[in-house]
């Protein structure tokens, strides 16, 4: 360095200050770069997340608007079967059934739903309050005027006039709609296709079970759903029980009671009947709801084992009571088969085949604590 | 290119930051708009159903108007409404797909077709004045309209239910969307801030370095170096220019510093000259002072000589006369130029005084050439040599010492010599005397060297180097000091 010694020191200090400030700037530059990269990544991440979330939000809207409806996603009164198919079907099939908790109808709907795809049919299920026949008529009328392909409709016994099976069958034929009534028992005296479970057979099976357990000492009370009752002792179920008990002299039917709609109706009727007729040692129920109600009465009273209960159909509650010995046995109607058969008949009719005669399923299963008989 | 300038860089960087923020704002706004439009989509089907319901009502009104009044306006209204209703019905789903709302739309479309068949048949029957027929078809159409409204309400219910379910799902997402929007805005702002910091450091860094360097230059530190800047913008140009200027200033200052050093040395030399001058003045003053005393001494010696003559002390008078003359000669300025004759006379007086002191202890001989007497010579050359010969060469001789003084002219060269038969000098002593006499630093002189040294130097100075002195001697063999002077030389 040419400068004086003191000048040289000063110059060194100045150079180091500049170098130091450069170093500090280099440090800040590095930090600012790192932070810029970090915030840039955060920016990209937030953008991507926002895009995904906006997409999800829009999908939530558009999916509900455009997508197929599934069970549980539709309106409460419009419960569709638990399957979705976006493929176009060949036929549109109405299913009109009462809005009841009877497991018969859930089995029926299950059968129809499973058989429909094979038949190339898309089904529309309409439920109406069990006692509101006007609502059922409305759906029937819509089906005819909308010119759908087929209509599977619950047809209780005892309907007369335009609501009779015959009248509806004729009206459907005029509008080119295949009409298939389903139910428990075919109306007596009416022609045309009908697919049902056969309450007479159910009564016979139940009566045999009572005779087997109680023999001639059987004092039987029968609980029948109002919608199914025809007229007291003319009810097929009653007749079936009576036919079976005739083989056990001394055994008798003490009481026949009718239940209304509602989940507690069976329990109330069973309680009333058992109070009115203390001699009853066997109760035969026509559906699952009444079976559970009667069993609950025995549990509440602590009379389990004192009264023999022969139930109908199969639900988890009934199975539980059977396992506990509250219910002796249950005559299970194969309503699922009825549903499947109804779709098969629809297919045959659409194919131009002749309408089959009345079909009543004879496939009944007896469930007991020991298993299936 | 504008991007190569500071302004261009500021504009480009600001534009980038603004672009990021603008894109963020636009995206956020666009996403919000899309979500709003999606929500509107929820109720589009309900609006379609409402439109169908209205068209159904207006068709019924038109039909009733025509059936009751048979007015052409009612008929036009009916035709207009029924046409629109038919168009709307055709826009409903016609496919058989396992979907409740789609199948219901298909049912509704079938019902509306059925309804329009009845209304058209009713109008036709009205024109044909078939009261029973148009009444029956009207009643049938009314039933179809009622069923259609029932289905519309059912479809509405499904749509609303689905819309509510969809809105629930949407609401579950929307808070996350808002949060991510906020995160997006915050991260974009922070990104912009970091880019701003980055760019500001990039832009102001070289300026700061330049400022640091300028401050260093302000403090007089020209050796600081700016970091190399690979930039073609104004700052790069300024940095290059500053570096060049700094180098120029540094060189100029170094030159000034060098000149200053020279001036400093010159000043020191002047100071030394002044000091010497001052000393010279002192010496001159001292000389003046010393000149006063000789006058007193000469006058006193003259008075003594007069007294001696008065008292008939001739020898004392001669002594005082020779002493006064010798002192007068010696005390005159030594740098003066005299003739050889003056020198010889001075030596003779000095020898007379020595003989008075030493008697016949030493033998003095003078060999003087007449031609040499007029030659000019520096004063007091011979006397110091004689004094040296007595004081040093013959000092240890009790008797028999010879001293010969020579003055002659040889080929234009005056030779003045003093020879003695004393102790002599060794080769080393001779070399030392000659070396010390040739130096100009007044180094330490050896014993008895002052006179000889003085003579040698004055000979050299007075003759400008043309004259010289030779010493020839060896231990125990005496010494001969010879002075060679060019004829005509003198101070």
Q: What is the ipTM of this complex?
A: 0.73
Residues carrying CATH 1.20.120.1730, chain B: 2-207
Taking only the tens of pLDDT, chain B with its 491 residues reads 566 788 888 888 888 888 888 888 888 888 888 777 777 777 777 888 899 999 999 999 999 999 988 888 889 999 999 999 999 999 888 889 888 888 999 999 999 999 999 999 999 999 888 889 989 999 999 999 999 999 999 988 888 887 787 777 777 777 888 888 888 888 888 888 888 888 887 778 778 888 888 888 788 777 777 777 677 777 788 888 888 888 888 888 889 989 999 999 999 988 888 888 787 777 767 766 666 666 777 788 888 888 888 888 888 888 888 888 888 888 787 778 899 999 999 999 999 998 888 888 888 999 999 888 999 898 889 999 999 888 888 887 776 789 999 999 988 899 999 999 988 888 888 888 888 776 544 444 445 556 788 888 888 888 888 888 999 998 888 999 999 998 765 44
Residues of A in contact with B219 (CB under 8 A): 10, 14
**Per CATH, is B2-207 categorized as 2.30.33.40?**
no
Q: What is the pLDDT, as a whole number, of residue A95?
A: 95
Residue B4 at interface with chain A, using a CB cutoff of 8 Å: no
Q: Kindly report, as residue ranges, where domains of CATH 3.40.50.2300 are found in chain A.
A: 91-196+336-362, 199-333
Calculate Rg over the CA atoms of chain A.
Answer: 36
CATH 3.30.565.10 intervals, chain B: 364-486
Q: What percent of chain A has pLDDT over 70?
A: 74
**pLDDT value of residue B274:** 86
Residue A9 sits at the chain B interface (C-beta within 8 Å): no
Is the model's pLDDT at A363 over the cut of 90? no
Q: Which of A15, A25, A76 sits opposite B205 (nearest CB)?
A: A25
Q: Who among B97, B198, B224 is closest to A11 (CB)?
A: B224
Q: Which residue in A3, A13, A14, A17 has the most chain B C-beta atoms within 10 A of its own C-beta, making it the best mutation to test that interface?
A: A14
Return the pLDDT at A242: 92
- Could you please report the per-residue DSSP string of B252-319? HHHHHHHHHHHHHHHHHHHHHHHHHHHHHHHHHHHHHHHHHHHHHHHHHHHHHHHHHHHTT-HHHHHH
Residue A53 contacts B, CB cutoff 8 Å: yes
- Assign A218 to helix, strand or coil: coil
Instruction: Kindly state the average pLDDT of the residues A98-114.
Output: 87
With beta carbons less than 8 A apart as the criterion, state whether B389 and B358 touch. Answer: no
Q: Which H or E element spans position B242?
A: helix B234-310
- Phi then psi dihedrals of residue A116, to 5 deg: -60, -45
Nearest of B367, B365, B391, B374 to residue B451 by alpha carbon: B391
To the question of pTM greater than 0.90 for the whole model, the response is no
A74:B162 CB<8 A? yes
Please identify, in words, the CATH class of the domain defined by A199-333. alpha beta
Residue of B nearest to A148 (CA): B107
pLDDT at residue number A218: 93
Q: Which residues of B touch A25 (CB under 8 A)?
A: 201, 205, 208
CB interface of A with B, residues 102-141, below 8 Å: 122-124, 138, 141
Q: Which residue among B97, B158, B181 sits closest to A74, beta carbon to beta carbon?
A: B158
Q: Which residues of B74-101 are buried (b: 16+ CB within 10 A; e: fewer)?
A: bbebbeebbebbbebbeebbeebbbbbb
> What are the two backbone dihedrals, phi and then psi, of residue A354, each rounded to the nearest 5 degrees?
-75, 145
- Yes or no: domain B364-486 corresponds to CATH 3.40.190.10: no
At residue A66 the predicted structure's pLDDT band, cuts being 50, 70 and 90, is very low
The answer as to CATH 3.40.50.2300 being correct for domain A91-196+336-362 is yes
**pLDDT for residue A160 is more than 70:** no
Give the Cα separation of A57 and A145 in Å (integer). 40
Chain B hits for A14, Cβ within 8 Å: 212, 216, 219, 221, 223-224
Range A25-54 burial, b when 16+ CB lie within 10 A, else e: beeebeebeebbeebbebbeebbebbeebb
Name which of A294, A185, A195, A313 is nearest A240 in CA terms: A185
Q: Tell me what pLDDT residue A298 has.
A: 92
Mapping DSSP to helix (H, G, I), strand (E, B) and coil, where does residue B73 land?
helix
What are the counts of helices (DSSP H) followed by strands (DSSP E) for chain A? 10, 14
């Amino acid at each position: 360095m040419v400068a004086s010694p003191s000048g040289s020191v000063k110059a060194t200090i100045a150079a180091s200050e500049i170098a130091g400030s450069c170093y500090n700037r280099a440090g800040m530059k590095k930090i600012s770069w790192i932070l810029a990269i970090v915030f840039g990544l955060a920016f990209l991440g937030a953008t991507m997340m926002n895009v995904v979330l906006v997409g999800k939000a829009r999908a939530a809207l558009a999916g509900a608007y455009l997508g197929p409806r599934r069970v549980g996603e539709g309106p409460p009164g419009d419960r569709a079967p638990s399957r979705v198919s976006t493929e176009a079907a060949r036929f549109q099939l109405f299913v009109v059934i009462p809005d009841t908790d009877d497991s018969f109808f859930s089995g029926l709907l299950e059968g129809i739903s499973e058989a429909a795809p094979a038949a190339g049919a898309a089904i529309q299920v309409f439920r109406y309050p069990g006692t509101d026949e006007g609502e059922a008529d409305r759906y029937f009328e819509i089906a005819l005027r909308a010119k759908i392909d087929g209509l599977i409709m619950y047809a209780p016994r005892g309907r007369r006039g335009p609501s009779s099976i015959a009248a509806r069958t004729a009206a459907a034929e005029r509008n080119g709609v295949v009409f298939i009534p389903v139910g428990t028992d075919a109306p007596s005296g009416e022609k045309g296709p009908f697919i049902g479970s056969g309450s007479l057979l159910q009564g016979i099976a139940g009566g045999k079970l009572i005779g087997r357990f109680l023999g001639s000492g059987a004092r039987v009370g029968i609980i029948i759903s109002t919608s199914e009752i025809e007229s007291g002792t003319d009810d097929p179920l009653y007749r079936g029980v009576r036919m079976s008990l005739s083989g056990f002299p001394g055994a008798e039917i003490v009481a026949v009671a009718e239940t209304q709609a509602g989940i507690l109706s069976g329990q109330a009727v069973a309680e009333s009947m058992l109070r009115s007729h203390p001699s009853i040692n066997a109760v035969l129920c026509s559906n699952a709801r009444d079976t559970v109600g009667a069993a609950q009465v025995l549990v509440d009273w602590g009379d389990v084992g004192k009264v023999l209960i022969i139930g109908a159909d199969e639900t988890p509650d009934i199975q539980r009571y059977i396992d506990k010995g509250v219910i002796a046995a249950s005559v299970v109607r194969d309503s699922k088969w009825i549903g499947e058969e109804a779709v098969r008949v629809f297919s045959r009719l659409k194919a131009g085949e002749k309408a089959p005669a009345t079909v009543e399923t004879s496939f009944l299963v007896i469930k007991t604590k020991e298993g299936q008989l | 290119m504008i991007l190569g300038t500071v302004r261009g860089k500021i504009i480009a960087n600001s534009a980038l930051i603004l672009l990021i923020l603008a894109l963020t704002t636009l995206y956020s706004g666009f996403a919000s708009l899309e979500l709003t439009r999606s929500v509107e989509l929820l109720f589009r089907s309900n609006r379609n159903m409402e439109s169908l319901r209205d068209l159904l009502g207006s068709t019924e009104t038109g039909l009733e108007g025509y059936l009751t009044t048979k007015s052409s306006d009612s008929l036009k209204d009916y035709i207009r409404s029924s046409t629109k209703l038919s168009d709307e019905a055709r826009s409903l789903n016609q496919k058989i797909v396992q979907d409740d709302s789609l199948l219901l739309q298909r049912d509704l479309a079938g019902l509306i077709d059925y309804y329009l068949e009845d209304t058209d048949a009713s109008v036709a029957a009205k024109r044909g004045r078939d009261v029973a027929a148009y009444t029956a078809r009207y009643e049938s159409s009314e039933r179809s309209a009622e069923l259609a409204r029932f289905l519309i309400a059912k479809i509405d219910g499904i749509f609303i239910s689905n819309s509510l379910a969809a809105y629930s799902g949407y609401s579950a997402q929307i808070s996350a969307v808002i949060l991510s929007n906020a995160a997006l805005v915050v991260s974009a702002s922070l990104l912009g801030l970091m880019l701003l910091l980055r760019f500001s450091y990039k832009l102001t860094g070289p300026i700061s370095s330049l400022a640091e360097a300028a401050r260093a230059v302000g403090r007089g530190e020209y050796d600081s170096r700016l970091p190399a800047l690979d930039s073609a913008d104004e700052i790069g140009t300024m940095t290059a220019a500053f570096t060049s200027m700094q180098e120029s200033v540094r060189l100029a200052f170094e030159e000034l510093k060098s000149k200053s050093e020279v001036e400093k040395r010159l000043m020191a030399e002047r100071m030394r000259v002044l000091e010497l001058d001052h000393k010279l003045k002192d010496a001159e003053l001292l000389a003046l002072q010393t000149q006063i005393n000789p006058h007193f001494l000469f006058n006193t010696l003259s008075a003594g000589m007069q007294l001696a003559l008065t008292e008939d002390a001739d020898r004392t008078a001669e002594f005082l006369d020779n002493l006064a003359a010798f002192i007068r000669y010696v005390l005159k300025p030594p740098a003066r130029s005299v003739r050889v004759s003056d020198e010889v006379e001075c030596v003779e007086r000095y020898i007379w005084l020595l003989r008075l002191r030493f008697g016949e202890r030493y033998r003095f001989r003078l060999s003087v050439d007449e031609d040499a007497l007029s030659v000019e010579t520096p004063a007091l050359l011979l006397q110091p040599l004689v004094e040296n010969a007595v004081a040093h060469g013959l000092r240890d001789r009790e008797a028999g010492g010879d001293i010969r003084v020579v003055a002659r002219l040889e080929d234009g060269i005056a030779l003045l010599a003093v020879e003695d038969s004393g102790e002599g000098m060794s080769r080393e002593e001779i070399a030392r005397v000659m070396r010390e006499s040739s130096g100009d630093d007044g180094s330490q002189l050896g014993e008895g060297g002052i006179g000889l040294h003085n003579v040698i130097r004055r000979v050299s100075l007075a003759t400008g180097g043309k004259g010289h002195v030779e010493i020839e001697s060896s231990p125990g063999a005496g010494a001969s000091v010879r002075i060679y002077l060019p004829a005509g030389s003198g101070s």
